[in-house]
A and B are shown apart, each in its own frame.
Chain A
């Protein structure tokens, strides 16, 4: 077991929230066609409130802190927040579109000891990327930002969301990542909008495209292994947890709302009314999430994919039941292996795979 896995297990045993994703704003300078957020400011936490939240997170044992949004640099106090986070010795990862990062911002991030910067790139072609972000010139600015960050010696990764608007371009973005010397992650997850509007789901990549992605060695490593039929589930698998959401990680919104994960909108408390540690230790919502084992899952517990499926409890929750299947992940398992899930067999829903999660491609050093 790697040291990191050991720490994760220890955090799980001790009930420590090892990582937190904190959105400091939903405001953004881009208007991406697939975005799930409402970009109005409905009462973001102030600088002092965020400093106080960071202190509480540090005291609770949080080590990995992802600062995201919206666009983080839309907040004028962004560097004040990072400075405080680093003073409290978090491992800080910043998620941004990079449009507002020039040499000065890149240098400041390096000086503050930001561990990694993740930047969204949708295509290597400006006409495609800028059409998705609806911000003319955004690809040029984003690529410039990556160069500024690399010049400072910062670790940068490109996050490439796959959707109908950029289907043909992931190989071009991989080549761009290699040229820039940064790692690459493909993410085809398109989620309903925060207000429940599901119209963006029409942008999900079709199953035929995902099948190709699953068989791309550059993305999945050993294709034969990745697409192999699932082994039978044993007792360990059935006693296991679906993912870290609510167990060793959680999400905090710009308004102080706490959820198990950014993709799991189960209200668990608000930091303007309760302390983080009280929410983490006493929230009935988080307790319910933590009580679920694979053997408790409706239909999934009897599915041959139960040990290898990337079932997202947040997506299942959004589909109506956090103990139920996530259809998108059922389809993913089917497209990967050719073997339908128990849920698909029950519903007769065999068509159209949609969501996948792929490990990062690390560029040659």
Chain B
């Protein structure tokens, strides 16, 4: 599988609340809260760091998970977020505008 790059869409509202990220799509008002692992992935979605690197360097180092299953779950998560227009996913690095910087 080729590398995947992720960046938050500009059409979302997002805020941290008690260690979890709240996200709402401005397109269809879908509302999500992300657990701690998904929040780390979200906060690392800078468009230039490959998803596999995010999992290896940020997720596996902070949580007790093996990289293969973590990457598998992360791909599912990313696909779900992309389906709702909340994350942009590409095989190539993504140029992120100021309005797309993930909330921290």
User: Residues of A at under 8 Å CB distance from B?
Assistant: 3-4, 6-7, 10-11, 13-14, 16, 18, 58, 61-63, 83, 86-87, 89-92, 113-115, 155
Contact = CB atoms under 8 A, between A and B. Distances in A.
A204 B73 CA distance: 57
B19 to A, nearest CB: 10
B57 to A, nearest CB: 24
B33 A11 contact: no
B99 interface: yes
B73 to A, nearest CB: 20
Interface of B (DSSP majority class): strand
A89 B13 contact: yes
Interface stretch (B22-30, B61-69, B74-82): B22-30
B7 interface: no
B26 A91 contact: yes
A89 B22 contact: no
Sort chain B's interface into a size bin.
10 to 19
A29 to B, nearest CB: 27
B15 A62 contact: yes
Contacts of A83: 99
A247 to B, nearest CB: 15
A83 B29 CA distance: 19
B26 A63 contact: no
B22 A63 contact: yes
Contact of B17 (A11, A86, A115): A11
Nearest to A6: B33
B18 A115 contact: no
A248 to B, nearest CB: 11
Contact of B16 (A3, A61, A155): A61
Nearest to A90: B13
Contacts of B32: 3
A92 B24 CA distance: 11
Contacts of A3: 31-33
A155 B26 CA distance: 9
A89 B17 contact: no
Given A115-B24, A115-B26, A115-B29, A63 B10 contact: no
